[in-house]
Amino acid sequence: MPDDSQPDGSNVIIRPARDVRGVVRIPGDKSISHRYAMLAAIAEGTSRFHNFSAARDCASTLDCVGKLGCEWKRQEDGSIEVLGAGARLKAPSQVLDCGNSGSTMRMLSGILSGQPFSSELCGDESLSRRPMARIMKPLTEMGAQISSSENGRPPLKIRGGALKAIHYKPEVASAQVKSCVLFAGLFAEGETIVEEPIRTRDHGEIALRAFGAEVGRIGNSSRIAGGQRLRAIEAHVAGDLSSAAFFLCAAALFPGSQITLPGILMNPTRARLLDILIQMGLKVSVAHLEEHHGELVGTIEAHGATWKGAVIAGGDTAALIDEIPVLAAVAPFSQGGLEVRDAKELRVKESDRIAAVATNLRKMGAEIEERPDGMRVPGGQHLHGAELDSFGDHRIAMAFAVAALRAEGETMIQGADAAGVSYPAFFEELKTVAGR
């Protein structure tokens, strides 16, 4: 599948498929892996994580906690061990490079705000364009001193210290902002409350409980008391449902296709994706449901059938923000198309994902209406192969690899190596299940 003329793998050619069939073992969930690594750093004892995400983003988190005095290593069985430093970390001797990972920068800033030293966080060109004012505001209210470059963009300089609890009501629903403030709340005097406009992923709250903290929740409000100590854990990270979405959408493209995905995260704040896919016609069943450290895990089996349309808006948009690019990329092949509203947040991800989806679909011959906070993709369309751009965005690269499976002719994705940010083995896995 990789273009042999590109030995670095930056360009990938996707050829049309007859169907999609097989078993895929999805890598560990990114959201949970980030949080486990950060909390392990401030826990007492040595934590061990099996199926820890292989994503470059999570490697950035491990690199940062290592620079903060927490030794970590990969065991022979592939698990990751992190030696916790307890509540007080070591002042870094160099800048903390978060790479492409907004998750690393935003959530780690909460922990660093409670440390008695100064630190600086930077990132790559893409991350340096992403908004950080949304975490700077609450952390400053709590007592941290934070400065940034122009317009609240990275790099960030943080002078931590004694923090005070706040009741924070973010304007934009964001699980990263929520986790950032709750992590800072561990170091604050009093009880910190985050009250969201719309409920977001609760991996931060569940992870905190797994490490021994008490976290309360009423409605859309989460609260944590400062001064709690965390203890090390051993845990298996469930498969990333956002990564599974690409294979589920691939199966949806071909009636009669069949995909089995064992050990997938089934957290209710993430599983809305399955509801939407079922609504759009994919036949989905879940078996072997179990609970691991507060997170639900199960095996997903999906069969392709008639592919219908959908409207994603309001709370669904927040719940599906990572999956919208692939849903939109395959929407032209549906009967009723896809309409996405209330998704302005997509404009400030690793790329402007609304513009990126629109640009690539048009190159493939599709009609699409691009809107300031969303898009409308009509159904019943035929796509042809084209030279597409990943825009340096892992989800755009993978989304259009899936769409290309049903296009007429070959598709080249430039900058496909961006997929390594979240799923290094994606193209090889896709090759194994695409029947030709």
Return the domain boundaries, the chain. 11-27+238-435, 30-235
Residue 298 contacts residue 286 (beta carbons within 8 Å): yes
Q: Quote the pLDDT of residue 9.
A: 58
From first to last of its 436 residues, what are the pLDDT tens digits of the chain? 444 333 345 999 999 999 999 999 999 999 999 999 999 999 999 999 999 999 999 999 999 999 999 999 999 999 999 999 999 999 999 999 999 999 999 999 999 999 999 999 999 999 999 999 999 999 999 999 999 987 899 999 999 999 999 999 999 889 999 999 999 999 999 999 999 998 899 999 999 999 999 999 999 999 999 999 999 999 999 999 999 999 999 999 999 999 999 999 999 988 899 999 999 999 999 999 999 999 999 999 999 999 999 999 998 998 899 999 999 999 999 999 999 999 999 999 999 999 999 999 999 999 999 999 999 999 999 999 999 999 999 999 999 999 999 999 999 999 999 999 999 999 999 999 998 8
Q: Quote the pLDDT of residue 436.
A: 80
DSSP letters for 200-217: ---HHHHHHHHTT--EEE
CA distance 233 to 30: 18
Residue 223 has which token pair? 């609260």
Superfamily of domain 30-235: Enolpyruvate transferase domain (3.65.10.10)
Task: Please indicate whether residue 352 is annotated as part of the active site.
Answer: no
CA distance 146 to 410: 49
Residue 28 has which token pair? 């560990």
In sequence order, what are the beta bridge partners of 118?
A: 159
Residue 299 contacts residue 261 (beta carbons within 8 Å): yes
Q: Quote the pLDDT of residue 150.
A: 78
Residue 107 contacts residue 34 (beta carbons within 8 Å): yes
Containing 434, the helix (H) or strand (E) segment is: strand 434-435
CA distance 318 to 309: 19
Q: Quote the pLDDT of residue 6.
A: 39
DSSP letters for 310-371: EEE-THHHHHTTTTHHHHHHHGGGSSS-EEE-S-GGGGGSSS-HHHHHHHHHHHTT---EEE
CA distance 174 to 170: 8
Q: Kindly calculate the radius of gyration of the chain based on its CA atoms and give it in whole angstroms.
A: 21
In a 3-state reduction of DSSP, which class is residue 141?
helix
80-83: strand order across its sheet: 72-74, 80-83, 46-50, 234-236
- Other Cβ atoms less than 10 A from the Cβ of 215: the count is 18
Residue 18 contacts residue 436 (beta carbons within 8 Å): yes
- Annotated catalytic residue: which of 240, 322, 393, 417? 322
Give the up-direction half-sphere exposure of residue 176: CA atoms within 13 A in the CB hemisphere.
23
Pairing of strands 46-50, 234-236: parallel
Classify domain 11-27+238-435 by CATH number: 3.65.10.10
What one-character DSSP code corresponds to residue 301?
A: E
Q: Letter for the amino acid at 347?
A: R
Selection from 389, 431, 390, 32 nearest residue 247 by Cα: 431
Most distant CA pair in the chain, distance: 61
- Other Cβ atoms less than 10 A from the Cβ of 228: the count is 16
Residue 55 contacts residue 422 (beta carbons within 8 Å): yes
Pairing of strands 80-83, 96-97: unpaired
Tell me, yes or no, if the two domains 11-27+238-435 and 30-235 fold the same way.
yes
CB burial readout 340-373, b (16+ within 10 A) else e: bbebebbeebbbbbbebbbbbbebbebebeeeee
